[in-house]
Amino acid sequence: MSICQQATSGCRLLRLICVGNEPDPFTMKMNLTPFSVKFQPVFEEVITMYSTIRVFSVLFLLSAPMVYGKAHGDMEFSDEIKTRQQLVQVALAREPADLIIRGATVLNMFTSKWQKNQDIVIKGKRIAWTGDAGAWSGKSKQIHDASGLWAVPGFGEPHKHIESTYLSPEYEAELVIPMGNTWTAEGSHEISNVVGNYNAEYWLKAERAGSPLKIFVSVGSATPPTVYESGGGYYGYKEMADFLKYDLRVIALGEVMDWPALINPGAPGHQRIWEMIQATYDNRGVVEGHGKGLSDLNDINAFAAAGLSSDHDADSKEAGFNKLQRGTYLELRADEARYVLPYLVEQGIESWSNVSITTDDRDVHTTLQLGSMDYNIRNAIESGVPMKDAYAMGSFNTAKHFHIEHLMGSIAPGRYADVVLLSDPKTVAIERVFANGQLAGEKGKYLLPIPKIEYPEWVSNTMNIGRQVTAEDFEIKAAAGRKTMNVALMEVFYFAPDFIRGELPVTDGVVKADPAKNINKVALVDRHTGSGKVAKMFWRDVGIVTPRSALASSHAHDLHNVWALGNDDEAMALAVNTVAESGGGWALVNNGKVVAKVRLELAGLVTQRPAAEVAEEVEALNIQADKMKWIGNPGIPELMRFAFLTASPWKWQLVAPYEGNPGGFVNVTNGEIHPVVW
């Protein structure tokens, strides 16, 4: 039936309802029923109105295809749609391919089967076709012989802080792509606490400039980490929603870690955390978790019930298994994987689809020694995970978790042409790595040019201490007339509900550190607000014995103020000022002189330099540190950069001074404060 016929039939039905029959075909007068005589004027008015509607309806319906066709025919498709339209034509052999990787044995992630003698047909950055070698009938500009090799998808990090590598994203690509790592879900709350609302823009700059490393941003929930800290950013509902709308590369809310604020409705940070979770759900993102110290079943269930979909902390093998059983996606670091994965094997789990492995934090020097995701996958295989599942844990599982499996995680049409060619899959022996359809790595070497990026001041000029600090800033004054003072003491990774108490001598009105008793001074300098405020106290079982010495760094998770550790106030001031003058990084002072430093000029966290050059500086720092005498273990106490975390399970912690707490010593679970000496 035509559009006109449909409209006419509709009006005829209306008349039948109103008057009981059709009008006389010759006179067009109504043969009214007795009931309708009384309402004739009303019925005729209704019929006239609907006849008019019929005319306009017919005209609209006739014109609609033209209007619709014009509007949508002129629509500008996105780059993603244009790419897929082209892939269709290549798959149908109507257009030529750019590259065929020929003859490899390919791991099919959808069937968990190895497929021998396969072709991977590539157009631009994506895969257009896969199947038996020679079966595709189209032409290709280039064929790469991969016979005798094993092909697996490019490795993907489920949870990594690239900032801990010390490299900007374009140089991170140089470091990790030859190791098979072609994409990363970036935790981002290190940089977010420095650059604030520029977070996503920073992470996407390198790929937009041509870097083949795909970075998917998990927006840092710990911005700021607690209500007792203030840095370069503040994220609530609006900020989180804006990030997710900004670019499809923004995929998640990163590791929700303020556990006391999350579970206690009266806690000061409760509203902000739940606003961010709601913003993530409202915009169809993934909510990541951080459950350090959570092993009680009630806590584990509450964690999952809150919607925190993943965890990269398993304090015991049992805790890891319990979290997995309640739907939490495990993102296991190498140290945890060594005890959790064998336990999962012992438990006889039949699906590894909700398990992955990750790096989290690993500096450039250590990465060059151990590896990246290749090391993590190798570790999983050695821990008893079936080999094919280990590779899925390093790619496909994580792509599904973040709902980006249409782009990453498998060697299949439409996905990025990220292919790792192995000579031995059991040992993760990498021969070549393709990223975005280009040969990017071979036998450990990066082969592609590194884009030149001009980073703006919001990330290249962030050391806002506001002044040079002096030795006096680090003095801890004693009460008048006292020869000793009671002191609050802490240790690295001290989680007890109360701090340690001790007693230290007073010299010239100042409380002194006592390296002979394994006690050094620790300080935290505000580098965000320009105030240059300094919080200081004493810590035990960490520090330097060598006189007039100190170590300082702007790597202080998660807010990244400048910390200093030492036994001499002048040495601590020199170390902090050296870090500030470098734009951020590390500085080591031995006997009153700077003997080593690492320059991290972007956000005070990373540097825009090649991996080998930065690793050389880190090695030089360690060599100079090895010449000094330290409390406890010899050498740089690298864990100090994580020692100022305020997430669960920390209780008492030193933060930068804030209103109402000039000393900066606070119980981050309830806001209680205490003097550092009394």
CA torsion angle for 320, 325, 328, 331 (degrees, to 10)?
40
**Band of pLDDT at residue 604, cut at 50, 70 and 90:** very high
User: How much is the pLDDT for 49?
Assistant: 53
Tokens of 28: 């067009």
Residues 6+ apart with CB under 8 A from 558: 189, 190, 193, 220, 222, 225, 645, 646, 647
b/e burial code for range 205-234 (CB count within 10 A of at least 16 → b): bbbeeebbbbbbbbbbbbbbbbbbbbbbbe
Q: Name the residue among 410, 446, 364 with its Cα closest to residue 173.
A: 446
User: How much is the pLDDT for 632?
Assistant: 87
At residue 586, φ and ψ (nearest 5 deg) are: -125, 150
Query: What distance in Å separates the CA atoms of residue 132 and residue 371, rounded to the nearest whole number?
Result: 33
Q: C-alpha angle with apex 358: 110 to 643, nearest 5 degrees?
A: 160
Would strands 310-311 and 665-667 be described as parallel, antiparallel, or unpaired?
A: unpaired
User: How much is the pLDDT for 73?
Assistant: 60
Query: What distance in Å separates the CA atoms of residue 420 and residue 101, rounded to the nearest whole number?
Result: 11
Cβ distance 534 to 511 under 8 Å? no
Q: Name the residue among 133, 183, 139, 121 with its Cα closest to residue 412.
A: 121
User: How much is the pLDDT for 44?
Assistant: 56
The answer on pLDDT for 433 being more than 80 is yes
What is the mean pLDDT of the segment spanning 518-532? 97
For residues 366 and 57, the model is more confident at: 366
User: How much is the pLDDT for 672?
Assistant: 97
40-82 pLDDT per residue, tens: 554 455 445 545 545 444 444 445 444 444 455 689 999 999 9
391-431 pLDDT per residue, tens: 999 999 999 999 999 999 999 999 999 999 999 999 999 99
Cβ distance 362 to 164 under 8 Å? yes
Q: Name the residue among 459, 600, 462 with its Cα closest to residue 529.
A: 462
Residues in the chain, overall count: 678
Residues 6+ apart with CB under 8 A from 247: 200, 204, 217
User: How much is the pLDDT for 671?
Assistant: 96
Three-state DSSP at 558 gives coil
Q: Name the residue among 216, 168, 255, 246 with its Cα closest to residue 409.
A: 216
User: How much is the pLDDT for 43?
Assistant: 47
- Cα–Cα distance list, 105 to 91, 139, 367, 391, 426 (Å): 20, 22, 28, 14, 14
Q: Is the peptide bond between 649 and the residue preceding it cis, with omega within 30 degrees of 0?
A: yes
270-312 pLDDT per residue, tens: 999 999 999 999 999 999 999 999 999 999 999 999 999 999 9
How many of the other CB atoms lie within 10 Å of CB of 593? 11
Please name the residue that has the structure tokens 């990498």.
430
Query: What distance in Å separates the CA atoms of residue 672 and residue 660, rounded to the nearest whole number?
Result: 11
Cβ distance 185 to 252 under 8 Å? yes
**Element spanning 654, H or E:** strand 652-654
Distance from the Cα of residue 167 to its chain's centroid: 15
Cβ distance 654 to 662 under 8 Å? no
Q: Name the residue among 363, 291, 381, 384 with its Cα closest to residue 330.
A: 291
Q: Name the residue among 239, 212, 332, 227 with its Cα closest to residue 269.
A: 227
Tokens of 144: 């790469």
Query: What distance in Å separates the CA atoms of residue 418 and residue 151, rounded to the nearest whole number?
Result: 10
Would you list the DSSP string of 323-381?
HHHTTPEEEE-HHHHHHHHHHHHHTT-S--TTEEE--BS--HHHHHHH-SHHHHHHHHH
Write the single-letter amino acid at 484: T
610-636 pLDDT per residue, tens: 999 999 999 999 999 999 999 988 889
Predicted structure pTM score: 0.89
Please name the residue that has the structure tokens 């789990």.
349
Three-state DSSP at 177 gives helix
Taking every pair of C-alpha atoms in the chain, what is the biggest distance, in angstroms? Answer: 122
For residues 36 and 358, the model is more confident at: 358
The answer on pLDDT for 479 being more than 90 is yes
Q: What is the 3-state secondary structure (H, E, C) of 54-120?
A: HHHHHHHHHHHHHHHHHHHHCCCCCHHHHHHHHHHHHHCCCCCECEEEEEEEEEECCCCEEEEEEEE
Tokens of 399: 């792509």
Taking all residues of the chain, what is their mean pLDDT, rounded to a whole number?
92
% of the chain with per-residue pLDDT over 70? 89
Please name the residue that has the structure tokens 């080998």.
612
What is the mean pLDDT of the segment spanning 104-121? 98
Q: Name the residue among 60, 58, 45, 56 with its Cα closest to residue 14.
A: 45
Cβ distance 603 to 194 under 8 Å? yes
At residue 510, φ and ψ (nearest 5 deg) are: -125, 135
Query: What distance in Å separates the CA atoms of residue 295 and residue 303, rounded to the nearest whole number?
Result: 11
Q: Is the peptide bond between 119 and the residue preceding it cis, with omega within 30 degrees of 0?
A: no
What is the mean pLDDT of the segment spanning 160-167? 98
Cβ distance 537 to 551 under 8 Å? no
Query: What distance in Å separates the CA atoms of residue 565 and residue 25, rounded to the nearest whole number?
Result: 103
Please name the residue that has the structure tokens 């992630």.
109
Write the single-letter amino acid at 584: G
Please name the residue that has the structure tokens 């099919």.
108
Residues 6+ apart with CB under 8 A from 276: 219, 221, 235, 236, 237, 240, 253, 256
6-45 pLDDT per residue, tens: 444 444 444 443 444 444 433 344 444 444 445 455 445 5
User: How much is the pLDDT for 74?
Assistant: 80
Query: What distance in Å separates the CA atoms of residue 166 and residue 600, rounded to the nearest whole number?
Result: 7
557-591 pLDDT per residue, tens: 999 999 999 999 999 999 999 999 999 999 999 99
What is the mean pLDDT of the segment spanning 521-549? 97
Would you list the DSSP string of 285-301?
-EEEE--TT--SHHHHH
Residues 6+ apart with CB under 8 A from 458: 195, 198
The answer on pLDDT for 211 being more than 70 is yes
Q: Name the residue among 406, 243, 249, 397 with its Cα closest to residue 329.
A: 397
At residue 196, φ and ψ (nearest 5 deg) are: 60, -120
